Structure 1
Amino acid sequence: MDIVRYLPHHDVVFPKIFCHFKIESLFQLRLVSKCWQSLVTEYFKQRRNLDLSEFGQRVTLDAFLQITSDNKVLKQLLVPEATSWLMDKHLLPVIHNCSHVLTDIDLSNCSQLSSLSLHSLAANCRNLTKVSLKGCAWVDKDDFKQLVINNRGLRKIDVSWCWSLDDGCLINAAFSCAFLEELVLSYIRFVTDSALVIIAMECKGLKHLSVRGCCQITNCGIRAIGEYCKDLKILHVSDCRDVTDASLARLRVRGVAMDVPVPS
């Protein structure tokens, strides 16, 4: 500790040393002494990226609060699968404190949250580029529309299993977010070719599209994607009963990776 104490914390210790530590190691370091605890706490205040995706249910609410409670500079907040402990009252302060810098958020399968969190994101954040709400049945149509309107620089949207969304929401997203590169709509039962055609025409830079399990999608929508989205690299259409090789064949020739086999 004596050596570290005399090194510049914000110029050397944090960006050159602590940034290479795993979260577990930082918490272990806090237990060594009050000096180390104070130093790690100060580091948490200025940490810009928080990715808890590898920990799943092993993350505790106490750990999350210790990392985020005084942080006002988080750009990336990835807390997927926080099904048992993350609630609106824990997330809302983080959104409020970091709304001006937050660009990447993943709340996949965070079932204890509600539309309050989405409303806060939509109302306060203007710089989001990646949003994952996979498996969040609480996603509300109006708040989703406001989210995409206020974040026109979005490059990635994942709303798989968000059952309340429909063509109107997705058409709104297409008109608002012309720079979309990845759009995951898996198992949204109300999405149809009407939305897919607008998405194709407005989001021509799309590289990854998933409509897996969208039972109302047909060859018509896929042909539109093929016609307008020349940069498409990945297409997921499994469990789409009305999508056949009549629309997929040309995409295969272009080298687009798919999750359905070539028909024999």
Structure 2
Amino acid sequence: MEFEGEFNCTDNICLTVLDIPWDDILIPRILPFLHLQQIWSLRLVNKQFNQLIELYFSSLRQLDITQCRKIPVSAFKIMTQDSNLLQKLVLSDFKELTDDVLVPVLGRNPRLSHLNLSACSGLSIKSLTVIRTKCVEITTLSFKECHWVPSASLEAMFIERENLEVIDLTGCWELVDNTIITLVTQSCRLRWLSLARIYGITEVAIVEVANFCPDLEYLDIQGCWRVTDNAISILARSCSKLKVLKVKDCPRIGERSLARLRIHGMMIDVPKPQSHSTYASLPHQRPPSARMAAVDVPINFRI
């Protein structure tokens, strides 16, 4: 017995996935829920699926290759060859990426607002120049662990960058105070900033961060050993919206400046040091040093 409305292939009514409307259903409502590797594999099914996936890639507004453990350059070229609507591009740790591959993609996608090039060691100043001239709407930018990034090129890029809100410069060793000063004086909307392990910057740069970034919520200066308590004190007074501060491996920053920030509930990656006041709060207790001094018996330390 057949149920009413049941599809019968003998009547040529048998449907496939490809019969679902592409532009209205498959591309915007189904394919985005698949893993990038699965989408890529669909290209191999037949010519129609190949056409579908090519159309999907050309309509992408976001592309994050970190979903795949390793992606060949040839695959990336196919994914982006017809793209011109990209707004978010995440290429973290894509070490095989070169200027010749990236520059055409940047040129075709002037609406990019989010660009992550963390640890892309195969790029050069050529890519920075295209970002500066073509991608003028960027609000989020990451050059984390891009040791090749020179100060002069970044300073030129930061000029008239009023839209920047999030920038990660972790591990960009060649940067100096003037680079950071150029950034913050041109990008007063910054909310998130990482300068971790940029060993050349001093408190001069951090003071300017405090002066020009009133909306700053996150600041990472781990390993910036030249920064002192004075800069953090100014930061505490000027950046009232600051919620997270990372100062690990900054030997010149101590509780003298951090205490005021802790009072306001700020998250700091360095724990509050223990003090003798802990023992004072206990009844009939003295600090260990005091109790040891009162014992007039020689102590034999065994090694």
Matched, 1:93 2:99: no
Aligned-pair CA distance for 1:5: 4.0
Q: Which residue in 1 is equivalent to 2:296?
A: none
Aligned-pair CA distance for 1:150: 4.0
Structure 1 residues 242 and 187 mapped into 2: Cα distance closer, same or farther (>3 Å)?
A: same
Matched, 1:38 2:38: no
Matched, 1:213 2:253: no
Q: Which residue in 2 is equivalent to 1:78?
A: 90
**Aligned partner (choices 164, 175, 178) of residue 168 of structure 1:** 178
SS, match of residue 63 in structure 2: strand
4+ residue stretches of structure 1 with deviation over 6 A? Answer: none
AA partner of residue 237 (structure 1): V
AA partner of residue 73 (structure 1): L
Matched, 1:157 2:167: yes
SS, match of residue 53 in structure 1: helix
Matched, 1:194 2:204: yes
* Stretch deviating more after TM superposition (158-167 or 148-157): 148-157
Matched, 1:260 2:265: no
Aligned-pair CA distance for 1:6: 4.3
| Structure (1 or 2) with the larger CA radius of gyration | 2
**Aligned pairs (5 A) from 1:108-257:** 108-257=118-267
Matched, 1:63 2:75: yes
Q: Which residue in 1 is equivalent to 2:63?
A: 50
Structure 1 CA distance, aligned partners of 2:176 and 2:133? 21
Structure 2 unaligned regions, length at least 5: 1-13, 275-303
Q: Is the 8 A contact 1:188 1:214 kept in 2?
A: yes
Aligned-pair CA distance for 1:138: 1.5
Structure 1 CA distance, aligned partners of 2:83 and 2:47? 20
Deviation digits for residues 44-77 of structure 1 (CA, Å, limit 9, x no counterpart):
0010101122434x12212211111110111111
Q: Is the 8 A contact 1:126 1:150 kept in 2?
A: no
RMSD of Structure 2 on Structure 1 (CA) = 1.4
SS, match of residue 170 in structure 2: coil
AA partner of residue 88 (structure 1): D
Deviation digits for residues 132-156 of structure 1 (CA, Å, limit 9, x no counterpart):
0011112122221222224311111
Aligned-pair CA distance for 1:221: 1.0
**TM-score, with normalisation over the residues of structure 2?**
0.83
Q: Is the 8 A contact 1:123 1:146 kept in 2?
A: no
Aligned length: 261
Q: Is the 8 A contact 2:57 2:79 kept in 1?
A: yes
SS, match of residue 159 in structure 2: helix
Higher relative contact order (CA 8 A, sep 6+): 1
Deviation digits for residues 190-226 of structure 1 (CA, Å, limit 9, x no counterpart):
2111111111111011000001001110001111111
Aligned-pair CA distance for 1:4: 4.4
SS, match of residue 141 in structure 2: strand
Structure 2 CA distance, aligned partners of 1:10 and 1:222? 53
AA partner of residue 43 (structure 1): Y
Structure 1 CA distance, aligned partners of 2:269 and 2:65? 28
Deviation digits for residues 237-261 of structure 1 (CA, Å, limit 9, x no counterpart):
0111100010001111111111111
Structure 2 CA distance, aligned partners of 1:234 and 1:156? 14
Q: Is the 8 A contact 1:218 1:243 kept in 2?
A: yes
SS, match of residue 194 in structure 1: helix
Q: Is the 8 A contact 2:43 2:53 kept in 1?
A: yes
